[in-house]
Structure 1
Amino acid sequence: MNSFVLPDKTLHLLAAQVNLNGTFNHTCRSQNTNQLLTFQLQVERSPGETLLIVVMNDERHSLTVYDNDRYTHLVLADFIECSVNSHMDTAEPAVPRISAESVERGQLLDDQQLHQLHQLVRNGGALLLEVGLDAPVNLTVHRTRNRSGITAILTTSDLCALTACFTAYGNDQHSAERLLQALNHLVASATAAMRMA
């Protein structure tokens, strides 16, 4: 399985480009091979929010961020890697851009929340989960029609806002495991970002 990552040079460019209007061309490199994947980043700024569009071949993935802060480029980098890697039929979450100590939190969800998460995977829809952050995590799940699986968007709406987006193909159990894995990753990243803030 190919896992595409953004080079450090691109991460530095993103830090500047999220503050500009325009279209920028970038590449991701596979960790396993020397395969390159090109994509285009379109940035449309307006007062209070910025629309970020990642274009790969005939696919468009968009993300809206509000009130830019110094972590916007990290959120964008995770979003790009998730979009690029789900393009390759994988739902592995992106490597966190903010290194942190392990989050000591035991089991993230209680039994009722796990049941709600499985229902969300089965039926699609949206769910707010309290997971110990300043604000609840918003999960939105869309059931794919062509194949069994889900497309999910996870967002935190606290001081250090983060977003994860991926597509997982497989049965409901596999999709629920991937969603829980992405949720754990998002909470760990948000906890690390809050510690750094």
Structure 2
Amino acid sequence: MIKYKIDNRTLQLLNAQVNLTETFNHVLRTAPKRECLAFRLKAERGTVESTFVVELGSERHTLTLQNDKKMHLKLADFIEEIANGPFDASNSSDLVHLPHADRQYGRFDVQDKQRVFELVHTGGVLSLDMGFELPLHVALHRTHSRRGVTAILSIGNKSPHTRCFTLYDPDAEIYAKLIESINHLAAAATPAAHAA
């Protein structure tokens, strides 16, 4: 089934447009073939809640939301659900695409921190699932002449965010600086519409 997705640029636009009273034109696209589906969004901002009318062809769908910081993400989920049909939790292909409002970027749990701690002692390569479309890769080379590591961190395919550095410190300090660098890289890779 063809899945229309709202891209990061449109999410950023929605983030600004939910605070206005205006009519906006947007386009949804599919990932593999880049097929287009145009829709019109009428936003009416109120003091407590806002009303949105999504016009897709001859269909009109209305949504009223309480004014909050995640309002644009809930609106994006609503628009994608109109274009693709309802979200089905029993369908495994739907589970790959979490609703925008439920996504957590930069999620760094205790098990991943333990794996990084072990990596500091042994060296090697690790892929961390932090909620992004692609994993964050960590490569550590232990130096034998001195106590230290050379670290390479990256996330992304086409133009990845990367960090590379060498540290000559005790393992506890290397671990602390590596965790800090992973958190900075995750923050840099978080889409702007979700960062707020």
TM-score by length of 1: 0.46
Q: Which has the higher contact order (CA 8 A, sep 6+)?
A: 1
TM-score by length of 2: 0.46
